Amino acid sequence: EDMLQNGTVVNGVMIERPHRFHTACTIATQIITAVASSQYGGATISLSHLAPFVRDSYNKFYNKYIRWGFDEIQSAKFAKIDLEEDIKDGVQTFNYQINSMATTNGQAPFLSVFMYLGETDEYKNELAMIIEEFLNQRIVGIKNKVGVYVTQSFPKLLYVLEENNINKDSKYYYLTELSAKCTAKRLVPDYISEKKMKELKEGNCFPNMGCRSFLSPYKDINGNYKFYGRFNQGVITLNLVDVALSSNKEIDKFWELMEERTELCHKALLVRHNRLKGTSSNVAPILWQNGAIGRLSEDENIDSLLYDDYSSISLGYAGLYECVKYMTNNSHSDKSIGHDFAIEIMNYLNTKCDLWKSNENIGYGLYGSPIESTTYKFAKCLKNRFGDDVFIQIDGRDRDYITNSYHIPVFEEIDPYSKLLIESEFQALSLGGAISYVECADLTQNNEAVLNMMRFIYDNIMYAELNTKSDYCQICGYDGEIKIIDE
């Protein structure tokens, strides 16, 4: 919002406030690419920051027809037609730019787009128009190199479920129905429950960086909450499975190792923090001087942004399931000793973050690390250290991965509603980063099932996603679910 409304500088070129939606979309993608080239990890923007330019476009078109001599009714009719085209072209440009431009690391910007009607009252209808077009274009997909429409990777879409779009009689329920259709076809959007987030985040609802990083609530010097322009200093992830196996099921040894390993993570996080201290704003002007994160002066260091919760720094964790299963012989999904032990671990990790934060005034937060390929790296390390049968020892199943963050393992028999309900308790203890998934078969012919799940998410969990099938055959061009069978 700051960069679009007040102007910015990219590559030494002054970019002033745009005067129509299409132009704002183009400038936004240029900013995003420049920002993504000056950092690692992902970034998020909000569509509410583009909404004012929809009204600018309408006024521009309306005044054009008035100048041409049309009356007010005709001018409004023609301006609306022009506006629809401008929104369509702007969103198409946005998608093309994000997926065709490469950052300095050689890939498209890792971008999430936040769609939250409750973020604006003045421009709510304009925002709804943008959200609708983003969903429509994502359903269609984007053409690959042979001209077939496929599911694009970016931007990730974050759709907020709220009172004015969750019920069938809600004004914007049509967007929720469209969102469900998009999820069934193209995997996104992810869903944020305004109700649950406000319970957990001091009455606020704000975006994460897809797929799970969340900032803590923060107030500026005027006492106003601020979420945009903030950042994360980095993550260090604790392998909980290694802690458990190293303890050989001795509970006192386990907690002794937890103390040792968390303090090792603390030390590593301070290496990241101290590496950033003293950095000059000249290192990345787009971030520190021209509005993406700050408006610091030339040669000023960034230290003021590293404290007081303005930025976060994350203690990650992985393998809660295997850790608890090994120590208690129960899954953390059981309302038993396994569940209680898992909660004890989560509380311990949060206590550590709170202690470090109070001692150092640095924004430590607990983060359910996505770890991605590290699920395999950690598993390989465990097998090298404890033997190839290490997972047999844990739960009788051999595999080459550990379970992500607090998740219930994929092989555990459980219905999706129970899974989300159980994981919501752990998500509330992982506020620096958390997401829950439901794995689904083809739902393109069952929109009501997706809508039922969305209503459940709204009532029960802060952030969740449906992983649906999005298949494409490179031989015949078939676009639909491809069954995985022996043949």
Q: Each residue of 305-330: pLDDT tens digit?
A: 999 999 999 999 999 999 999 999 99
3-state helix, strand, coil in the chain (%, to 5): 50, 15, 35
pLDDT per position as a tens digit, 214-243: 999 999 999 999 999 999 999 999 999 999
Nearest in space to 400 (alpha carbons), one of 375, 421, 417, 422: 375
Residue 210 has pLDDT above 80, yes or no: no
pLDDT at 150: 87
User: Is 279 strand, coil or helix?
Assistant: coil
Backbone angles phi, psi at 465, to 5 degrees: -145, 145
Q: Match 């899974």 to its residue by tokens.
A: 419
Alpha carbon distances (Å) from 417 to 107, 457, 464: 36, 9, 11
Q: Match 């993550």 to its residue by tokens.
A: 235
Nearest in space to 163 (alpha carbons), one of 172, 155, 154: 172
Alpha carbon distances (Å) from 487 to 469, 479, 482, 483, 484: 19, 19, 12, 10, 8
Measured CA to CA, the distance from residue 171 to residue 132 in angstroms comes to 13
Mean pLDDT along residues 394-415: 95
The pair of three-digit structure tokens given for residue 244, joined into one six-digit string = 């458990």
113 has which bridge partners?
45, 157
Alpha carbon distances (Å) from 8 to 53, 108, 110, 113, 296: 16, 22, 21, 20, 13
Contact 406, 423 (CB under 8 A): yes
Measured CA to CA, the distance from residue 268 to residue 275 in angstroms comes to 11
Q: pLDDT band at 475, cuts 50/70/90? A: confident
Residue 409 has pLDDT above 70, yes or no: yes
pLDDT per position as a tens digit, 429-468: 999 999 999 998 889 899 999 999 999 999 999 999 999 8
